[in-house]
Structure 1
């Protein structure tokens, strides 16, 4: 059976699956592969680095009729970056983490769908007021950055669905197989936005060491913290800790974030450790669904697998279980 929803209808998709616009790693090849397989591929535009955009956007934008979009980190968007992407005719632009108000109208005025990611109900209400075409409800199980005081995906999604109706909502956070997609649909979402699972694909722009760490990782090893942003000298607002796999600097500085923030020598030590290969160049962003990731498939094959698994899970959920012998 085809899983048709308001989200698939909006973008003429075959499957209610979207690629999370993971900064830097969701490049043109990955977005194009997801879209060609029937989902919605979203480029990880991050803050809008022009050189990166000029390299990656044409890979997906040059394919006529292919639905695609780009996602930005709202709190740090570079001047002109949104307009530069809009010139290439994306079907959607997604904004996450920060006030989307300055960008919402110009996106909609371009005839582009506005996707807003929310991490709490205040953000969800704002998204509705701004006229979002799609809302992404991100739970705390998600890999990478998220709200410090957010809520788990399971209870958060249906509340946002009810608040936002009839605006379609995508569930995000901890979804790494088709059963998770089916669960999102059962919660009333119109689809799922998936990140960590797509990091471990052939087309993702990640170091093979990082991809393998995701395959080998366990949810028990993930942790939400601001330590690695502080150690890297990143400007991420402290209200958005990040979920990553374990890391030596987490063990070294856990509970001493204020000390780390005041210690420039510690940040230099971090850069030195990266330079000599003692630690990865980037943290391994990973959500709690990482246990379900055991291979590195092509993204198109993964989309097909997720869709088939979701259809099977929903079909099984609708069947009467066999009677146990008395």
Structure 2
């Protein structure tokens, strides 16, 4: 079984983290990821604390394994964050900014902190703030992120992180990606798009089918996303979404002046809560080009780990034969 120091830090069996998916129905998926020995994650965006507590209770019914609860600065929901501290999950994951004060509060509650970063400056901030795990997310990733590619960002963050485990994210959908991440010095991977196309993920089948059919260039970062995405809570936060194209996004790109944030924002949130978010903003990363089917989450994790072991063994054999 492939195991790294990340597993010891998070109390998991394999060096894989399932990404959080904001407000989407993801409890069944996160629990399946946990049962496969990885770390499942639950998003919190736009959900009231009462809904979140029901999700967390359901999660604990489905698994006794460690899991993470995610928050972001777009925007930060203080009430939901306090509820998370009271819940005391194994870890809080965070992105779109590095909030040292929140990291301190999590540590005071005995909760590990997984900090996602999109550039070297954020990685430096995360180390100084005492993050327990740093996720170096390349611009290939779906959802909200930056621009620097995974292949460039991961080694830079590894060089900065010292003893803090680094996790690679963005463009990783199979065992080859996990093996490559380890070769770059990472201690594991975070997987988003590949797990969107899983049996357990609670999104529309149409969205999953589009992921399976997509090529890498079918995803893009809308230039005018600030006109429909929620505002940031702090001035140094940033990030832009990567998504498959939709008529809504095409309209935003062609005529941004027609998009009134005060009107579009609530409409988009309601669509997500109604299960129609994919009609507007189907977050998807470039790794969709590597996704060819919809599988159970546990099988995705097991295949990824097994294939990574095979890739690493073959690479070692090839290097030995070349001497």
TM-score normalised by L of structure 2: 0.88
| CA displacement at 1:234 relative to structure 2 | 2.9
Q: Are the structure 2 counterparts of residues 111 and 47 from structure 1 closer, same or farther at C-alpha, using a change threshold of 3 Å?
A: farther
| CA displacement at 1:92 relative to structure 2 | 0.4
* Equivalent-residue separation in structure 1 for 2:239 and 2:63 (angstroms): 37
**Counterpart residue number, 2:157:** 160
Aligned residue runs from structure 1 range 6-45, under 5 A: 6-25=5-24, 27-45=26-44
Between Structure 1 and Structure 2, how many residues are aligned? 313
Given that 1:48 and 1:82 are in contact with CA atoms closer than 8 Å, whether structure 2 keeps it comes out as no
Q: Are the structure 2 counterparts of residues 189 and 163 from structure 1 closer, same or farther at C-alpha, using a change threshold of 3 Å?
A: same
* Equivalent-residue separation in structure 2 for 1:278 and 1:76 (angstroms): 22
* Equivalent-residue separation in structure 2 for 1:260 and 1:146 (angstroms): 25
**Counterpart residue number, 1:234:** 229
| CA displacement at 1:321 relative to structure 2 | 7.3
Secondary structure at the aligned position of 2:158 is classed as: helix
Question: Any stretches of 5+ residues in structure 2 without a counterpart?
Answer: none
**Counterpart residue number, 1:72:** 71
| CA displacement at 1:236 relative to structure 2 | 4.2
1:217 corresponds to 2:217: no
TM-score normalised by L of structure 1: 0.87
Aligned residue runs from structure 1 range 1-326, under 5 A: 2-25=1-24, 27-46=26-45, 49-62=48-61, 65-147=64-146, 150-227=147-224, 230=227, 233-237=228-232, 239-254=238-253, 257=256, 259-261=257-259, 267=264, 280-320=278-318
* Equivalent-residue separation in structure 2 for 1:189 and 1:179 (angstroms): 14
| CA displacement at 1:33 relative to structure 2 | 0.8
Given that 2:252 and 2:259 are in contact with CA atoms closer than 8 Å, whether structure 1 keeps it comes out as no
Given that 1:227 and 1:249 are in contact with CA atoms closer than 8 Å, whether structure 2 keeps it comes out as no
* Equivalent-residue separation in structure 1 for 2:277 and 2:124 (angstroms): 41
Given that 2:138 and 2:149 are in contact with CA atoms closer than 8 Å, whether structure 1 keeps it comes out as yes
